[in-house]
């Protein structure tokens, strides 16, 4: 046996010493990295961090966990070491991702792109989550992560993040309650999400987002006369003003209708309301047929309560509309039955607030769109970003995955 090769017993002792020295070296370097700037120059600290990263690659899980736990308390932790440990096993990365103040937005976004669900979840649990990081987390499409983020009051959701969450809630209705309660959610987003939300969430949306348009109507009231003198020549102006008009029913449609009034049209459907009569009721209500069909075919039926309240119809007409559409009535006063819930919505809303909701739906679901166009709209079309009415229609009517 060559003299350069130590005996087996000596090899074991050398290995033990090597592992011990590695452990001490990692611990000492961790100390240096965690020292304040007053004790160690920045360039030496960065050098120590670079060496430490090389050692941690083959270090035990316990050593990596201890290093990460200490580093989580450091405000100006070296970036490369921070990013490296942030992508380690979740037991190593979690204290950093949840608590470290040294991460900036780019660090967290890079970790999201290179991480997995456990890492995303840890970031979603941070005390403060910046807007761009929220967008990246919601963009993962991971429901557990999105739900955690939406529950986090320290998360700052951007408009784009809420838009993405609303779009995903079409297939994941468990998100609707969380989105509806976020302060960043806009009335337009909530009233669009209404269509695939459960009854309790619909009630919350109507309570919070059904508002009066008194200020807008007062400020823009003189424009109605101005547009009328121009014979409503500008289509975009006509559509915008229609959203703000106080009078809901269409008097011109009533004058042309064989029924003469909205009440008579509903009474005529006592034995069944067909598509032609739905169109007539829609015109008399001041909305387009696409909107009327959506309201009357909706599974929950709460939209019918909004329609009846906005147009000044009485409870009897609401009941007549309900039965004319072949929907059964059990106990009208029992809010656990479909009609009982619809009647509760009717009583909940004032006429002015119901008009705001109905006019928004009509503007967003049918403004400038034909029935054929509604079927081809794609919510993921980037060109719809600054076309709110078309985007809302795409979410409600467009194709799903």
383-395 pLDDT, tens per residue?
555 566 666 767 7
Q: What is d(CA 148, CA 137) in angstroms, rounded to the nearest whole number?
A: 10
| Contact criterion met (CB below 8 Å) for 180 and 150 | no
Q: Taking the model in full, what pTM does it have?
A: 0.83
Query: Looking at residue 378, what is its pLDDT?
Result: 59
Sign of CA dihedral 312, 317, 319, 325: negative
Query: Looking at residue 11, what is its pLDDT?
Result: 40
Q: What is d(CA 374, CA 394) in angstroms, rounded to the nearest whole number?
A: 7
| Contact criterion met (CB below 8 Å) for 95 and 87 | no
Q: What is d(CA 78, CA 81) in angstroms, rounded to the nearest whole number?
A: 6
Residue pointed to by tokens 């000596």 = 10
67 C-beta neighbours (distance < 10 Å), count? 25
Question: Which phi and psi (to 5°) does residue 129 adopt?
Answer: -120, 115
Residue pointed to by tokens 């100006």 = 76
Say if residue 229's pLDDT is above 80. no
State mean pLDDT over 41-52.
83
Taking every pair of Cα atoms in the chain, the longest distance, rounded to a whole number of angstroms, is 114
Say if residue 15's pLDDT is above 60. no
- How many degrees, rounded to 5, is the angle at CA 194 between CA 190 and CA 200? 105
Task: Tell me the sheet residues that pair with 155.
Answer: 129
Task: Tell me the sheet residues that pair with 129.
Answer: 155
Environment class of residue 398 by beta-carbon count within 10 Å: exposed (0-12), middle (13-18) or buried (19+)? buried
Query: Looking at residue 8, what is its pLDDT?
Result: 46
Query: Looking at residue 12, what is its pLDDT?
Result: 46
Q: What is d(CA 365, CA 196) in angstroms, rounded to the nearest whole number?
A: 14
How far is Cα of residue 242 from the mean position of the Cα atoms in its chain? 28
Q: What is d(CA 134, CA 157) in angstroms, rounded to the nearest whole number?
A: 6
Query: Looking at residue 335, what is its pLDDT?
Result: 80
Q: What is d(CA 144, CA 175) in angstroms, rounded to the nearest whole number?
A: 10
State mean pLDDT over 237-250.
73
Q: What is d(CA 67, CA 54) in angstroms, rounded to the nearest whole number?
A: 13
What are the CB-based long-range contacts (under 8 Å, 24+) for 203-206?
203/344, 203/345, 203/348, 204/177, 204/180, 205/180, 206/302, 206/306, 206/345, 206/348, 206/349, 206/353, 206/357
Residues 6+ apart with CB under 8 A from 222: none
Sign of CA dihedral 364, 366, 371, 372: negative
Residues 6+ apart with CB under 8 A from 229: none
Residues 6+ apart with CB under 8 A from 153: none
Query: Looking at residue 289, what is its pLDDT?
Result: 93
Question: Which carries the bigger pLDDT value, residue 242 or residue 107?
Answer: 107
Say if residue 233's pLDDT is above 70. no
Which range has the worst mean pLDDT, 152-156, 199-203, 361-365?
A: 361-365
Say if residue 268's pLDDT is above 90. yes
| Contact criterion met (CB below 8 Å) for 176 and 169 | yes
Residue pointed to by tokens 């993962």 = 140
Say if residue 1's pLDDT is above 50. no
Say if residue 273's pLDDT is above 70. yes
State mean pLDDT over 309-324.
96
| Contact criterion met (CB below 8 Å) for 119 and 90 | yes
Q: What's the distance, Cα to Cα, between the start and end of the chain in Å?
A: 70
Say if residue 199's pLDDT is above 70. yes
State mean pLDDT over 304-329.
95
Q: What is d(CA 203, CA 183) in angstroms, rounded to the nearest whole number?
A: 17
């Amino acid at each position: 046996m060559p003299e350069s090769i130590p005996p087996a017993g000596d090899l074991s002792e050398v290995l033990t010493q090597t592992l011990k020295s590695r452990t001490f070296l990692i611990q000492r370097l961790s100390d240096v990295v965690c020292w304040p700037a007053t004790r160690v120059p920045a360039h030496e600290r960065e050098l120590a961090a670079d060496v430490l990263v090389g050692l941690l690659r083959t270090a035990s899980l316990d050593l990596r966990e201890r290093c990460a736990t200490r580093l989580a308390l450091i405000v100006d932790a070296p970036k490369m070491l921070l990013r490296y440990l942030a992508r380690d096993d979740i037991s190593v990365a979690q204290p950093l991702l949840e608590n470290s103040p040294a991460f900036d937005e780019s660090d967290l976004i890079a970790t999201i792109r290179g991480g997995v669900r456990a890492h995303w979840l840890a970031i979603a649990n941070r005390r403060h989550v910046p807007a761009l990081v929220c967008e990246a987390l919601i963009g993962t499409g991971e429901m557990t992560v999105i739900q955690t983020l939406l529950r986090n009051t320290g998360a700052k959701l951007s408009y784009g993040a809420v838009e993405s969450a609303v779009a995903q809630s079409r297939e994941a209705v468990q998100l609707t309650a969380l989105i509806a309660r976020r302060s960043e959610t806009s009335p337009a987003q909530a009233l669009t999400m209404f269509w695939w939300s459960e009854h309790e969430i619909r009630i919350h949306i109507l309570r919070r987002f059904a508002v009066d348009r008194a200020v807008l109507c007062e400020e823009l009231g003189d424009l109605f006369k101005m547009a009328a003198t121009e014979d409503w020549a500008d289509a975009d102006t006509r559509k915008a003003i229609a959203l703000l008009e106080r009078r809901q029913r269409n008097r011109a449609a009533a004058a042309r209708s064989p029924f003469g009034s909205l009440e008579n049209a509903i009474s005529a459907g006592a034995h069944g309301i067909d598509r032609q009569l739905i169109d007539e009721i829609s015109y008399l209500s001041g909305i387009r047929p696409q909107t009327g069909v959506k309201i009357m075919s909706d599974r929950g039926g709460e939209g019918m309560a909004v329609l009846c309240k906005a147009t000044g119809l009485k409870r009897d007409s609401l009941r007549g509309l309900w039965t004319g559409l072949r929907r059964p009535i059990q106990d009208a006063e029992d809010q656990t039955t479909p009609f009982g819930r619809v009647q509760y919505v009717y009583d909940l809303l004032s006429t002015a607030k119901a008009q705001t909701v109905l006019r928004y739906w009509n503007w967003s679901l049918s403004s400038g769109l034909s029935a054929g166009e509604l079927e081809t709209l794609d919510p993921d079309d980037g060109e719809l970003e600054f076309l709110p009415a078309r985007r809302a229609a795409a979410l409600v009517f467009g194709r799903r995955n």
